[in-house]
Amino acid sequence: MAKIGLCCWAHFCPGKGSYKWCQILFLEKRLLGNDAQQEKKGNLGNGGGLWKRNLNGKGRVTKLKKQVIIVGGGAAGMLAALTARHHGAAVTLLERNPRVGKKILVTGNGRCNFTNINADYQCFQGGNPEFAKHALAVFGSEATMAFFAKLGVVPKVEEEGKVYPWSDQASSVLDLLRYELDDCGVDVVVDAFVQRIEKVGDGFRVELADGAFFTGDRLILAPGGKAKPSTGSDGNGYDLARSLGHTITPLYPGLVQLKLDGSFFPQVQGVKIKGTVALLDGTEFLGREQGDIIFGNYGLSGPPVFQLSTLVGPLLQAGRTPILQLTMIDQMSRAELTELLRDRFRQAPGKALAFSLVGFINKRLIPVVLKAAGFSDLKQPVGELTSAETERLVEILTNWRMVVRGTKSWPSAQVTVGGVLTGEINPETMESMLVPGLFFAGEIIDLTGRCGGFNLQWAWSSGYLAGKKAATLD
C-alpha cells in the first residue's frame, strides 16, 4: 500500500515540493474519485505505474515493459529517466533536493557548457578511459545537440568546440528538461533521500531516509560524485554502490585550484595572465595546458590549472612531489625573449630593474618575479645587468617551477576523480556486471572528463545507455 501511494504521489506534483504534501493530495483525489491528474499523465493509478497509456496512441492502454527507478535527479538521472520513458518504461526519479538539476544551474559559469563537439574517449581519464568509447559513439555530442534541440535548446559552438545554449542560461536547459520530464510522464519525487537499496528477487527495493520505500524491476544509480556537495552530490552514492557489492576507486577533487608553495601568493591574488602550465613528476612531463591563469592567495587557478589538477590527487597519494611549471611568456622562444629584454635594457640603461619591466609584465607580478629569480636589489639600473642575470630573468619567465602541495577541497571542485570501478560495469549498457538489473550513470563512474563540456557529455551519454537498456532489458 505504501508503494502504491508513493508511486502515485509524483504524478500529482512532479517537482512541486514535499512528496508528503503530494500524498495528502493523492488521498484527497482518491476520496473524491477524481482521476483527472492521473489521466493527464496517462497513468491509470493502479499503484506503481505498471499500466500506462501508450505514449503515441492516445487512450490506448498498454502494459509497460519495465518499472525503472532512478536515484539522483542530476544530468545523468534526468537523461536516463527521459530515455527510459521514451522507450516505454514506467519511470520514477528520486531526488533528495526540493528540485531536480541543482548542479546544472552552476555549470559553465551559469551558461551550461553542455557538450563539446570534440568529445572523444581520449578527453577522459580514469582506470580505463576507453570505457567511454561506446557510449560516446552511440550518444555523443551530435546526438546530444539533436536531443536538446528537440527540447528547444538552440546550440551555440564556441572556442575549443564548447557548446552552450543560445540563451546563455543554464536555467533554460534545466527548465526544458523539467518540462519534458513532466510532459512525458516521469514520476519525479523530490525531497526523497535514498538511504538503502536492496536486491529483492529480480527487482529492487529502495528505501528513503524517512522509511518510505519503492520497488522496481530495474535500478539506475545516478547520484553524482562528491564535488560541490551543496548541490546534493556529497558522496553518499558511493556507499549505495558499495552496499550492492561494487568497488570504489580512490576519490580526489578534480577540475579544482592547485595549492602551491610560495609565500608571495597573497600579494598577487587576483592577477590574471595568459600563459602555459605543465605538471611534472620528477623530470617527466605529465601534461601541458595553455590559457587564462589566475593567481590566488593559495596558488593558481584557471582552466589550464584545472585540467592538470585531475592528475594531482593520485600523485600525492602515491607519495610523489608534483611540480608545476609556469611559462608566463609563452608567445615567443627563449632566444626571442632574451633579445627583447636585452633591447629593452639597452634602450633605457638607467631604468631601475623593476621599472624596466613595466608595460611588459603585470605590475603586481614584477617584484614577485624578480625575487623568485633571485634579485635582491630591484632598483639596480638595468644597464649594469650581466648576461647571466638577464638569463635568470628569462628562466623565471619561461620556466618558473613551484612545488604542488595539494588541491582545494570538494566544495571548490567541479568533478570527482575516481568512482565505481569501470571493470565492474558493461560499457555497452552501463549495467552492473555484479548485480543484474542495476545500472550506473554519470559522475559516480570512475571516469573524469576535461574541462569544456565533457563531463556533462558523459552524464548524457551514460544516462542514455542506462535508460535505454533498463527500459528494454528482458
Compare residues 48 and 232 and give the one whose CB is closer to ligand FAD.
232
Smallest gap from Cβ 437 to ligand FAD, in A, equals 18
Find the part of the chain contacting ligand FAD (CB under 6 A) among 151-159, 188-196, 280-288, 296-304.
188-196
Find the part of the chain contacting ligand FAD (CB under 6 A) among 70-78, 319-327, 364-372, 401-409.
70-78
Among 194, 197, 324, 366, binds ligand FAD (CB under 6 A): 194
Nearest to 471 by CA among 435, 439, 424: 439
> What sign results for the dihedral spanned by CA atoms 231, 236, 238, 243?
negative
- Show contacts with ligand FAD in window 73-92 (CB under 6 A): 73-77
Compare residues 345 and 440 and give the one whose CB is closer to ligand FAD.
440
Interface with ligand FAD, residue 301, by CB under 6 A: no
Chain-centroid distance of CA 21 in Å reads 32
Interface with ligand FAD, residue 15, by CB under 6 A: no
> What sign results for the dihedral spanned by CA atoms 129, 130, 135, 136?
positive
Smallest gap from Cβ 73 to ligand FAD, in A, equals 5
Binding mask 222-261 for ligand FAD (x = CB under 6 A): xxx--xx--xxx--xx------------------------
Find the part of the chain contacting ligand FAD (CB under 6 A) among 62-70, 94-102, 179-187, 293-301.
94-102
Compare residues 108 and 418 and give the one whose CB is closer to ligand FAD.
108
Smallest gap from Cβ 442 to ligand FAD, in A, equals 2
Chain-centroid distance of CA 280 in Å reads 25
Half-sphere exposure of 459 (CA within 13 A, CB side): 29
- The C-alpha R_g of the chain, in whole angstroms, comes to 27
State how far the Cα of 260 lies from the Cα of 214, in Å rounded to an integer: 48
Smallest gap from Cβ 190 to ligand FAD, in A, equals 9
- Show contacts with ligand FAD in window 375-414 (CB under 6 A): 414
The count of residues interacting with ligand FAD (CB under 6 A) is 39
Among 48, 253, 302, 442, binds ligand FAD (CB under 6 A): 442
Q: Which residues pair with 417 in a beta bridge?
A: 252
State how far the Cα of 467 lies from the Cα of 461, in Å rounded to an integer: 10
438, 420 contact by CB (below 8 A): no
β strands within 255-385, DSSP E = 258-260, 272-281, 284-295, 299-301, 323-327
Interface with ligand FAD, residue 417, by CB under 6 A: no
**How do the residues of the chain divide into helix, strand and coil, expressed in percent and rounded to 5?**
40, 25, 35
3-state secondary structure of 269: coil
Interface with ligand FAD, residue 456, by CB under 6 A: yes
Read out DSSP for 62-122?
A: EE-S-EEEEE--SHHHHHHHHHHHHTT-EEEEE-SSSSS-TGGGGGGGGT---EETT--GG
Interface with ligand FAD, residue 96, by CB under 6 A: yes
Compare residues 402 and 444 and give the one whose CB is closer to ligand FAD.
444
Find the part of the chain contacting ligand FAD (CB under 6 A) among 100-108, 125-133, 271-279, 348-356.
100-108
Smallest gap from Cβ 406 to ligand FAD, in A, equals 19
Compare residues 163 and 311 and give the one whose CB is closer to ligand FAD.
163
Compare residues 169 and 362 and give the one whose CB is closer to ligand FAD.
169
Rounded to the nearest 5 degrees, what angle is found at the Cα of 258, between the Cα atoms of 252 and 417? 20
> What stretches of 373-411 show up as alpha helix (H) in DSSP?
387-398
- Show contacts with ligand FAD in window 33-52 (CB under 6 A): none
Q: DSSP code of 380?
A: S
Provide the 10 A C-beta neighbour count for residue 6. 26
Compare residues 244 and 373 and give the one whose CB is closer to ligand FAD.
244
Residue whose entry in the numeric block shows the C-alpha cell 483527472: 36
Find the part of the chain contacting ligand FAD (CB under 6 A) among 101-109, 315-323, 339-347, 359-367.
101-109
Q: Extract the C-alpha cell encoding 78.
A: 534526468
Compare residues 110 and 350 and give the one whose CB is closer to ligand FAD.
110
Smallest gap from Cβ 219 to ligand FAD, in A, equals 12
- Show contacts with ligand FAD in window 162-181 (CB under 6 A): none
Find the part of the chain contacting ligand FAD (CB under 6 A) among 57-65, 126-134, 338-346, 449-457.
449-457
Q: DSSP code of 435?
A: S
β strands within 113-154, DSSP E = 115-116, 124-125
Contacting positions for ligand FAD (CB under 6 A): 71-77, 94-97, 102-103, 106-108, 113, 192-194, 222-224, 227-228, 231-233, 236-237, 414-415, 442-443, 453-456, 459
